[in-house]
């Protein structure tokens, strides 16, 4: 069970997917759009109100938890 707000989990999950898409050389014509999306998601995750109360170690915990969800390990 994740102890993060759902919108923060969704934004981090979208960030992970966008980052993987950007690293995939299959569609190089989408690079600009993907970079813009990655930047938007980075802002959403970084400046989320949750971080006002949480410690910095929670950022790593969020990334780890989302990656586990994405891979089905969690």
The pLDDT value recorded for residue 32 is 92
pTM for this model (two decimals): 0.86
pLDDT at 73 over 70: no
Q: In angstroms, how far apart are the furthest CA atoms of the chain?
A: 40
Each residue's pLDDT tens digit, 19-71: 999 998 887 788 999 999 999 999 999 999 999 998 878 999 999 999 998 88
pLDDT at 6 over 90: yes
Alpha helix (H) ranges present in 1-74?
Answer: 6-23, 31-46, 57-71
């Amino acid at each position: 069970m994740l102890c993060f707000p759902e919108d923060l989990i969704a934004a981090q999950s979208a960030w992970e997917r966008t980052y993987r898409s950007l690293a995939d050389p299959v569609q190089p014509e989408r690079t600009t759009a993907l970079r813009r999306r990655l930047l938007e998601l980075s802002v959403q995750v970084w400046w989320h109100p949750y971080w006002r109360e949480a410690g910095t170690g929670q950022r790593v915990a969020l990334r780890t938890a989302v990656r586990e969800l994405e891979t089905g390990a969690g």
